[in-house]
């Protein structure tokens, strides 16, 4: 695996690989509002964690219609069959051109995931590149928002000791590599 420690904060690490294989206390899922599973990283996490994750998701309260996690918010389950204790499910925005509050909603998704981790006393967390797959958020802008939000959070927090940006595709990895080195 390619790895890099961020110049801005040594608690931030960049990795390329499959988030379900990481030895951390929490992994973040780029989920949909219904929390029913899907493709991409959501599919990989539900496959690795098994049916238990879906069962836990379906026990969470419904906000409206069939929405269990509104865009920008975050909820938590166990890791099911995975060794990771927690999965933090967040929902990034669908890119619609940029005028529908997509940047702020993406920032909220990172920030609320970090808050959930802090509530549980988690020391290490890994993020996928939320919204940059099926939801088509521009990768450069998404990476800038992700890095800025995590750096700002870490400035005020001493619980988290490691935040991993886990990139799956080479394009995202190169973008983060430039931002963090
Ligand atoms: N580990 C780490 N990152 C991964 C993995 C993996 N195993 N697999 C894919 N990625 P996406 P979104 C990366 O589409 O854009 C689902 O159907 C991928 O390369 O998973 O937020 C949900 O149910 C990309 O950079 O999430 C929602 O409906 C990143 O994960 C919708 O997709 C995010 O891509 C959410 O779309």
Residues (pLDDT < 50) of the chain are none
Q: What share of the chain is helix, strand, coil (3-state, %, to 5)?
A: 35, 20, 45
Contacts 24+ apart (CB under 8 A), 96-101: none
Within 10 A of 163 (CB to CB), how many other CB atoms are there?
24
Alpha-carbon gap, residue 68 to 64, rounded angstroms: 8
Say which CATH number the domain at 155 has. Answer: 3.40.220.10
- CA–centroid distance, 116 to ligand 1, in Å, is 20
Instruction: Select from 41, 46, 131, 132 the residue to mutate for testing ligand 1; criterion: most ligand atoms less than 8 Å from CB.
Output: 41
What residue's CA is closest to ligand 1, atom 21? 131
pLDDT for the residue numbered 40? 98
- Total tally of structural domains belonging to the chain: 1
Instruction: Tell which atom from ligand 1 comes closest to the C-alpha of 137.
Output: 15
pLDDT for the residue numbered 95? 98
Domain that holds residue 130: 2-180
Best CA proximity match to 36, nearest among 20, 51, 18: 51
pLDDT for the residue numbered 112? 98
pLDDT for the residue numbered 1? 58
pLDDT for the residue numbered 2? 74
The count of C-alpha atoms lying within 13 angstroms of the C-alpha of 85, restricted to the half-sphere facing its C-beta, is 9
């Amino acid at each position: 695996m390619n790895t890099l420690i961020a110049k801005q904060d040594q608690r931030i690490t960049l990795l390329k690989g499959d988030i379900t294989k990481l030895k951390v206390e929490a992994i973040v899922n780029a989920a949909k509002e219904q929390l029913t599973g899907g493709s991409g990283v959501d599919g990989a996490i539900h496959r690795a964690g098994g049916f238990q994750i879906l069962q836990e998701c379906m026990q969470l309260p419904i906000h409206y219609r069939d929405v269990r996690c509104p865009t920008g918010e975050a909820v938590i389950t166990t890791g099911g069959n995975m060794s990771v204790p927690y999965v933090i499910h967040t929902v990034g925005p669908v890119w619609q051109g940029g005028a529908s509050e997509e940047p702020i909603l993406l920032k909220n998704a990172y920030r609320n995931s970090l808050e959930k981790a802090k509530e549980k006393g988690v020391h290490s967390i890994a993020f996928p590149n939320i919204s940059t797959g099926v939801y088509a958020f521009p990768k450069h802008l998404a990476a800038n928002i992700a890095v800025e939000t995590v750096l700002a959070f870490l400035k005020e927090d001493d619980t988290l000791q490691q935040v991993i940006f886990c990139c799956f595709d080479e394009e995202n990895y190169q973008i983060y590599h430039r931002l963090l080195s």
